[in-house]
Structures are given as C-alpha cells and as structure tokens.
A and B are shown apart, each in its own frame.
Chain A
Amino acid sequence: MASAGLGLSAVFGPATFCAVTGGSRGLGRSIAVLLAERLGEGSRLVLTGRSLQGLQDTKRQVEEKCPNQLEVKLVTGDMGDSTAYPALFYDIFADTGPGAFQNALIIHNAASLGDMGKKAAEHSDPEILNKYYATNLTSVIALTAKFMEVFSGSNVRRTVVNISSAVAVEPLAYQSLYCSGKAARNMFFKVMAEEEPDVRVLSYSPGPMATDMLQAVRSCGDKKVEDRFNAMESQGLILSPDASAKHMCTLLEEDKFKSGAFLDVFGRFSL
C-alpha cells in the first residue's frame, strides 16, 4: 500500500509533482516504480523518454504498485532536439497551476553515451557534438530553468536531482563526451545550489547498474573497459537499478545531504 512501512515524507508527501526524464527503461524506470509507492495523495508523476512503448511499460509497472492514487503522465520526445524543447517542456509542466502541488521534484536521469568508438581527439563533427551536449547538458539546464519558473514561489518545496556518474571525476577511455557532460552538470548544479539555498540540489552517482547503458559501455570494443566490467561483475559490484534507485530515494528522504553535493551510491566519494 502507498504508505505502508515508509510513511510519507516531506519530500514525497501529498501533492508532489515529480518529473523523471529517461523513464522508459533502466534507472529511470526503477525510480518511477519506487516513487510510485511513496508519492502521496494528489501527486503526479511525469515520465519522459524517446520510446512510448518503454514509457507505457513503466507506467504499467507504476500502476501495479500504486493503482489509484497517482496520476501518471507520459511525454515522448528527444532531448537532442533543442527546437522541440518549448513543446516538450510545455507538456511536462501542463496543468501545474499555483497551489496544485506542495512539493516539486525533478530527476534529470535521461542520458546518452555518445560514440564510444571515438577517442577524445576523434570527435570532429560539431553537429554530433552539439546534439550530444543538447541531450546531456543544455536540455538539463533549460528544463531546470522551466521547472524553477513553473514552481517559483516559496511555498513549494523544490528538489532537483542530477543523475551523474563516477566518470564525472574519473576519466574513462572512449567516454570523453559522457565524462565531460557529467562533469559539466555536476559543476552547474554546484553553482545552482549556491545561488538557490532553498532548493535541494543533489548530484547522484548511481554506480554501475545492470541496464542497457552498461551493456553498451561493456561492448564498446575496448578490451580494458570490457575486462573492467567483467571484474566488477564477478565481484558482485554491478547493482540492480532498483537497488540504486532505493539508495537515491533514501538520500532524498533523509534529507541530510548538503545541497549541491555529489554523492555516490557506494559512499566512495562525497564531493
């Protein structure tokens, strides 16, 4: 049941608006399903992604957990296309009139890896780069700006989560775009946290998880990378996205993190 064993918290209590990007699979799906149990009466969960089918599957799983209470809205779109943002963002935040929600939570989870066949020095096409950073950086910034505009006003408790990665601080060969995009996001949100002391800002590194994304990294063709993930797997270090989503939710509910902090699921760093 919605509140059994957990209680509703200040973060996920009644009348919470929550948007999760990249909700069609992987960590985004796990977060959505976990939140379904915890969002209180009058809440709304908005899931975005490129795959309508994936979003629908997520919605189905969410509704299994929480059949009556939660309004789930699906918005399909491609964050790589900045001309589509106005329409996309409009859909995400439609019907969020003043007073509708007491809490607002946005989880920037959608991400792409970029071409892992290329070394840093081989990224020569500006259009590909622009698209990459549109998906992974500028969409996040513009969407956050919209979120803050929609939920301006002091009586809405606002939380912004940046799903980050250890590679924001640890260089990984063939991942120059992914590493740099995550580094940029972390820093952006650190500045935001300083400027907006009444917004809870968290950069969360979910750890290596059994998702399509990890599979893609693993099969990028670089033996060192493959070996590394094989070793992690044999040491039981690959998490389920559900476990990582749970840890993230716990961090949010405990609400002790310093705004702007970059925290890792294993507690390996806290930057």
Chain B
Amino acid sequence: MASAVFGPATFCAVTGGSRGLGRSIAVLLAGRLGQGSRLVLTGRSLQGLQETKRQVEEKSPNQLEVKLLTGDLEDSAAHAAHFCDIFADAQQGTFKNALMINNAATLGDGTKKASEHSDPQILTKYYAANLTSVITLTSKFMKVFPSTSVRRTVVNITSDSAINPLVNHSLYCSGKAARNMFFKVMAEEDPDVRVLSYSPGPLDTDMLHTVRSCGNKGVEDLLTSMESSGMILSPADSAEHLLNLLEKDTFLSGDFLDIFNFKY
C-alpha cells in the first residue's frame, strides 16, 4: 500500500541497481511506489540494469516509470553529466517524495593490506566511487528537490565494516566509516531530510563472494562459518527490512541501523 514515504509521485534513485542488494531494493520498491512514480537505476552493467528492470516490470507493469543509466562512479570527471541524467525531467512539483538510495559500492583490492595501498591513483578512484560520488550525488539530489514541497529521504547503504575492522578491506572499511560520519553531519544540518545509514548484513551476493576469496584465510573461515550457521541473508530479505524501516519512519535521522535492528 502506498505510504508517506513511497506514496504517489515518488522519485527514487538507486545506485548499483544492476545486481545484488540494489536489484532487490528496486524490485521491492516496484510493489510499493505509487502512481506517477519514477525509479531511476544506475550501474556499470547495462545488461544487469535491464534484467533488474525486467524483474521490476513483472512486479509493477504499468504504474512505474523505470529509467536506466549506465556510468562508472570511479570517473569523477563524468559525474556531472551522469548526475544530470539521473535527475533529468524531475522538476519541482512533479514529485511529492524523493528517495535517494546510495547503494553502489566496490571493495577495493582485497589482496592488499592497508599498508600496501601505495598508488594514489587507485586510492583516488576508490574513494571517488565510494565516497565523493555519494557526496556529490546527494548534493545534486538535494538541489533538485529543495525542501518546500518534497519529502526527502537519503539512504546510505553501509556495513558493519564501518565499525568492525575487516582485514584486507581497509579501503572498504574506511570508505563506509567516512560515509556514516558524513551522513550524521548532514542529518544534523538538514533536519527536514530523513537520513538513514543502513547496514544490510552479510548477503548472498557477488560482493560477499569476492570478500570470501580475498586470499586471507581468517576472512574465508569467518564467512564459511557464517554460511554454515545460516547467517548469510538473502538480499531480498534485507531489502524488505530496509523498506520497512523507511515506512515505519521512526528512526532518528542520521542513525546507523543494521538488519538485526542493532543501533550503532
């Protein structure tokens, strides 16, 4: 049923919509976004985005306008044009709700220890994709949808790696930590925006499998034991939990919550 968050005329952008959690979020939203809504999905893989769109349209064939945009967030020179496309024809007054889900992420080179990240170009690209693109995209979102008539929600898909160090993943951990703090500050400064940092838990996605094969035995063993204890979740379940949190709308703006309802 359409709610205040996902009601009629909702603009929703989901980055990293070509697979994994992004896809699950998109498909679930399809069932909840009301009349006159638009879903914009971004990612690197057009094929992946098209598959997501197909699944979305199965759920919500007529009502929802779905727009696909390919782009690589590592390339900050391309951001301006990419972000313009995301928000094209989203003039004020068209939408009553606007929802930005910063989901796209990369892991960085999992074979490198923290002290082995010596190439500044690689570091710059990493933080472009995982940190600065999120900042500039959010900034564009806020500019396109100024507060007066639109209810705005910004979601930061984070990880408990923002708090709990994961060996061989110093870039991932630090990027998530940076985002969490950034959004806490934003929540303080813009009290009329609903800001949520959501940790989806360990999910059965390509990303998890990449972490698992990073070459560090400790990490491999950890994930193997999580799997055998049934702790690896489906992205659909996690996406559902996220949407429930958003609809219930009782979280404190800027909060960092995880799927197990643990508040950091």
Contact = CB atoms under 8 A, between A and B. Distances in A.
A171 B254 contact: yes
Contacts of B183: 120
Nearest to B80: A126
A179 B49 CA distance: 34
Nearest to B112: A145
Contact of A179 (B143, B166, B174, B184): B184
Interface string A185-213: 11111111111100100000000000000
A186 B177 contact: yes
A190 B124 CA distance: 20
A36 to B, nearest CB: 28
Per DSSP, chain B at the interface is helix
Interface stretch (A43-51, A61-69, A136-144, A237-245): A136-144
Given A124-B139, A180-B181, A191-B165, A173 B174 contact: no
Contact of A180 (B113, B131, B133, B254): B131
B131 A173 contact: no
A182 B174 CA distance: 9
A67 B124 CA distance: 41
A184 B132 contact: no
Contact of B142 (A121, A138, A139): A121
Interface residues of B, number: 56
The A interface is mostly helix, strand or loop, or mixed, namely helix
Contacts of A180: 131, 177-179, 181-182, 185
A258 interface: no
Interface in A103-120: 119-120
B123 interface: yes
Interface string B184-217: 1111111001000000000000000000000000
A180 B185 CA distance: 9
B115 interface: yes
Contacts of B127: 130, 133, 137-138
B89 interface: no
B228 interface: no
Given A187-B177, A260-B165, A123 B136 contact: yes
Given A137-B174, A173-B188, A122 B139 contact: yes
B132 A145 contact: no
B96 interface: no
A120 B120 contact: no
Interface of B: 76-77, 79-80, 113-121, 123-124, 127-128, 131-133, 135-136, 138-140, 142-143, 162-163, 165-171, 173-190, 193, 254
Interface of A: 82, 85, 119-127, 129-130, 133-134, 137-139, 141-142, 144-146, 148-149, 167-169, 171-177, 179-196, 199, 260
